[in-house]
Amino acid sequence: MTYKRPPFFHILEAGHTGEMLTVKQEKFIQELVKGKSQRQAYKAAYNCRRLSDNGIDVCASRLMKNAKVRLRYEELRKEAEKDAVLSAVEMRRKIIKKLSEIAFEDENDKFRSRQDQIRAMGMLSDLYALQAMTEQDESGVRIEVPEEYAQ
């Protein structure tokens, strides 16, 4: 009986060349990043027919302690966070664009009432007030509350 080596994924991160993950380890990590629990991710990646839930938990915990697995998980988690922030920024742009169209459209437009325009202006005002209190830095988005509103 010959032993077949599993295919590997290379971790492409500066300073960590040559470290490899198996297909199952990569699948486990991908499932975690999607939001599954360690148990669910382990079940999705590995054959667990003979393991109890407690056994699966132990195996998943051991797998997460593996340095290569942890490194890859952190890499993908950071990417997912960055994508979420970019998606939120893009959504905010779309909302501002649409509210601006409503708020500043021709007053003779028959599709929207003056009340709709006033509401849109109020929402835009609220968004810009929040933006004035928000500062983006390297670690993400941080909201700074003006002193008059602080406790």
The pTM for the full model equals: 0.54
Kind of pairing, strands 20-22 and 8-10?
Answer: antiparallel
At 62, list the tokens. Answer: 């051991």
Tell me the range of 14-18, 120-124, 125-129 where mean pLDDT is highest: 120-124
CA distance 38 to 66: 14
Residue listed under structure tokens 């697995």 = 69
pLDDT tens column, 16-75: 444 689 999 999 999 999 999 999 999 999 999 999 999 999 999 999 999 999 999 999
